[in-house]
Structure 1
Amino acid sequence: MEDLITKYVSLSKEDPEKSESWSQLCNSGQTQLYRLSETKDGVFEDSIVAIALIDGVTACEMCEIFHSQDLKLKWDNSIDKSTWIEDKDEHCAVYHQVQKRIWPSAQRDFVYESHKQQLGEGDNPDWIVCNVSCDHATAPSDKYCRASVEIVFYCQTIVTGDPLLRENIKCKIFYSSKIDPGGWIPVSAVKAAATREYPKFIKNLGTFAQDHVKDQKMK
C-alpha cells in the first residue's frame, strides 16, 4: 500500500500535457481521461487514469464515500453484491465483491483489501483509497471467474475562495484502475470498455457525493 501511495502521489504532480508517458483519450466536462504508459521490471504496461474536479466536496468526504461499502452499493451500479470478510484495522478491510454479469462472459468476482489513509496534516489534507487484490482462506473460490484489481483513488481539496463554504471548494480526483479480468476476455477489451465507462463512473460518483454531503458539516 505504501508503495502505491508513494507512486500515485508522485504521478499526481506530473503535468500530463508535458509528459511523453501520458496521452489524452478524451475530455468530458471536468473529467479528463489519459493513457499512462510505464515500464515495470522490464515489462511495458499501460493503464487508464481519470483526472476530475467535483464541486462542493472535500477530499476526506470523497474518499469516505468511495471507501464505504454501504455507500458504494448506492452509487456503483456494476456491483452485484459485496461481502465483508475481515477488518485489518480501522481504515483497512478485506471484501469479496461480485460484479454484475456482462453477457456473454462469465460473472466476475474479486477479493481485495481496501485501505483508506490521510496524507499530511493541516486544515485540508489529501486522502487516498487503495483497493488491491489479495487471497483469503474464507473467500469463496469456485463459483465465479476470479479477476484481480489495483485501484487507486487519490483526492485533494482545492479551496477557491473565502469563506470556507461548499461553493468555494472542489475535490480533485486522480483515479487509476488496473483490472485483469481473468478467463478469456482480452485486456484490450477491458481497456476499451474502461475508456467508455470511466467518465460515466466519475459523473455518477460525483453526483452522488454532492447530494450526500450537501446538508452536512464539511469534513
Structure 2
Amino acid sequence: MPKLESRLDLSSAVTSQISTTSSVLINQETDDGNQQSEDFGTGAQARTHKLWPEIDKICTEQLYQARQGVGDSGNGWQLFADEGEMKMYRREEEVDGMVIDPLKSCHVVKGVTAREMCHYFFDPAYRNDWETTLEDVQIVDNVAPDTLVFLQTYKRIWPASQRDALFWSHMRKITDNLDHDAHDVWVVCNHSNQNEEYPPANQGKCVRIYLTVILVCQTYLTPGKDSKTATRDDLTCKITYCSTVNPGGWAPATVLRAIYKKEYPKFLKRFTGYVLDQCKNKPIMY
C-alpha cells in the first residue's frame, strides 16, 4: 500500500515537526524550581559542554531568521493560513527531490508571558498533557537545567515506518535589547545532532527525522504597568514559531503540503490554549 504508507509517514513527520520537545523526564524529578536559578536561560552551566559552540551558533542564527519579516527582500514566504491573530507562512524548498519547506507562524495571545510560553514548550514534564504522538523519550545528555539532549520515539501509525528524532533543546532569555518595546524575550531552540556518543540514526525499526525549530516569545505590558503591578489582563505574548524538518524519506510534495496546512494551525492553537489554561490561576512568571 505505497500511497497509504506515504501519507501515514508524512502525517508522522508533520506531527514530529510540531512535537519537538519531550513528554516525560525519565528518572529525574522536574518542577518549576529548576527554572528559578539566576543563571537559568543564560547558558552559563552549558558553556563548558562540547555542544555549546553549535548551540550558541544555531540559536543566534535562528533568532535572526525569526526576526526577519515575511515580506523582507522578496524572500518567498507564502501565507497559507490566516485565522485572526494567527498567521502561517511557508517557503517551498526541496533538497534532492525531498520537500523540506520552512514554516513560520506568527501569533498573539493574551494573559501569559514569554517565559511561561517557553517554559511549557521546553520542560518535558508537561509534554504529554498536550501531545499524544510520543511513544518514548530518553534524555541522552542532561547538559544543564536549560539545555537537554533528547531521543524521542513517536508512535507508529501502521503500516508506516516508525520515526524518531535526536536533538538538543535550549531555552534562553534574550538580552540584546533589539526588541525595544518588549518587557522581555525568551526562546526555545531545538536542533538535530548526531554526536558519535549518541544513538545512531536508522539503526533498527525507526527512521530518523532531522529538525531545526525555534519558538520566540515576547512579553508586552499594558502602558503604565510593570512586572510588579501587572495582572494577567495586562499581559500580551507575541509568538513566532519557525521550523524546518527533513521527514527522513521521500513523499509526494502535494500530500505533505496538504497535511501541514491542516495540522500546523491545530497544533499552535492547541498548545497556546493549553498554556493559557495552565497559567490562569498561577502567579505570573517573568
Alignment TM-score, normalising by the size of structure 1: 0.86
Letter aligned with residue 150 of structure 1: T
Unmatched 5+ stretches in structure 2: 1-54, 94-99
Count how many residue pairs are aligned between Structure 1 and Structure 2: 216
Selected match of 2:86 from 24, 28, 31: 31
Give the match for residue 63 of structure 2: 9
Q: Say yes or no: does 1:119 pair with 2:174.
A: yes
Greater fraction of residues in strand: 1
Q: Distance in 1 between matches of 2:158 and 2:251?
A: 12
Letter aligned with residue 146 of structure 1: R
2:101/2:245 contact within 8 Å kept? no
Q: Secondary structure at the match of 1:105?
A: coil
Letter aligned with residue 219 of structure 2: T
Alignment TM-score, normalising by the size of structure 2: 0.67
Greater RCO (CA < 8 Å, at least 6 residues apart): 2
Q: Say yes or no: does 1:95 pair with 2:163.
A: no
RMSD: 2.7
Cα distance, 1:154 vs. partner?
0.9
Q: Distance in 2 between matches of 1:217 and 1:49?
A: 31
Structure 1 pair 102–190 and aligned structure 2 pair: CA distance change class (3 A): farther
Note the 1:1-219 alignment, pairs <5 A.
1-17=55-71, 19-21=73-75, 22-36=77-91, 46-120=101-175, 124-136=183-195, 137-139=197-199, 141-161=203-223, 162=225, 163-186=229-252, 189-219=255-285
The more displaced of 173-182 and 114-123 is 114-123
Q: Distance in 1 between matches of 2:72 and 2:250?
A: 36
Q: Secondary structure at the match of 2:265?
A: helix
Q: Percent of aligned positions with the same letter in both sequences?
A: 29
Q: Distance in 1 between matches of 2:276 and 2:78?
A: 29
Structure 1 pair 50–159 and aligned structure 2 pair: CA distance change class (3 A): same
1:181/1:187 contact within 8 Å kept? no
Cα distance, 1:37 vs. partner?
6.3
Unmatched 5+ stretches in structure 1: 39-44
Q: Secondary structure at the match of 1:147?
A: strand
Q: Distance in 2 between matches of 1:130 and 1:70?
A: 17
Letter aligned with residue 109 of structure 1: D
2:209/2:245 contact within 8 Å kept? yes
Q: Distance in 2 between matches of 1:177 and 1:203?
A: 16
Cα shift readout 1:132-164 (whole Å, capped 9, x = no counterpart): 111253537322111111111111112235451
Cα shift readout 1:20-61 (whole Å, capped 9, x = no counterpart): 2222111023210012468xxxxxx74111111122110001
The more displaced of 24-33 and 177-186 is 177-186
Cα distance, 1:170 vs. partner?
1.6
